[in-house]
Every structure is written in C-alpha cells, then in structure tokens.
Amino acid sequence: MPSSLDKPAAQNWGTVLAFAVGICYFSVFSTPDTGVSSLGPLGLVGTDKWYHAIGYGVLATLLAIALSGRVDESNRPGEANRANESNRTNWATSAIAVALVAIAGATGFGILIEIAQTFVPVRHGGIGDATANAFGATVAVTIRFLVARRDEGDLRS
C-alpha cells in the first residue's frame, strides 16, 4: 500500500510530533524548575518567557518546514517557471499561508498546553506564557519567511 507522505515529509512531521511531545512533557508532566532566574536577557521579562518564546519559535518553524513540503513545488519560481509571474505570485501566497498556519498551529498548541497546566497541581497556566508562545512563534516564522524569500530572490538574480 503506497504511503501518502514521502520519506522527507514523514521525517519532518515526525520531528514536529517529537518536539510537540517534548514541550507537552516539560510543560505538563515534569515539575517546574525552581532554579530559573527571575529576569532573562535584557532584564525585560523572566527567563521562563524566553524559554517559552524559543520553544514555540522552534515548534512553529518546524511546522512551517513540514507544511512547506506540502506546497505544490511547481508553483515555486525557478529556471523553468521564470517567465511565469503568476507562479511567483502563487508561491508567495502559498508561503504566506504556510507561515500563518504554522504560527496559528504553534500558538493554538501553546494555548492548549496553558489550559492543561491549570489542571496540574504544581503548574499554572498564564496569559503571559501564552503571549510569549505566540510572540516566539511569530518572530521565528517571520524570520524564516524573510530568509526563504531572500534566498528565492537570490536564485532569480
């Protein structure tokens, strides 16, 4: 029976799943770190918010990579499609859609984890943590999108 996912796509989704399981374990099932310093770099927010932003930034980036594998590669501008402006537009639209879905997916997962934490005695969910999750996801996927767009522009020149 043929698989609907090729090997690289299955590996990408496996990585997303493994990372999400890791976040779930450390967020819900393990005991909180007591040795986390109160303020993180720059002294603006706590270290835990940095951990949230980095963790969900990585999750969102992994999601974007896995989702981009599902975008029709024929829409990607390249040598064969260089003259076709609509293919460039379709690829850009697809890339933006992938970025938005990745951000929404990571943020939604973060909100579910924060809700789950409210039912665990040694944990507590919080709006600040959910905001840090969304911020990290947005920043990471935006950087990935801009780098991919820059690289795509370099290929055209």
Q: What is the pLDDT of residue 56?
A: 98
AA identity, residue 101: V
Number of residues that this document lists for the chain = 157
- The dihedrals phi and psi of 77, each to the nearest 5 degrees, come to -65, 140
Name the DSSP class of 33: P
Alpha carbon of 63 to those of 14, 17, 28, 60: distances in Å? 10, 9, 21, 5
Distance from C-alpha of 64 to C-alpha of 75, rounded to nearest angstrom:
17
- pLDDT value, residue 75: 47
Domains of the chain, residue spans: 44-156
What does pTM read for this prediction? 0.78
Mean pLDDT, 10 residues at a time, over the chain (157 residues)? 68 96 91 64 77 96 89 48 54 83 97 94 89 97 88 56
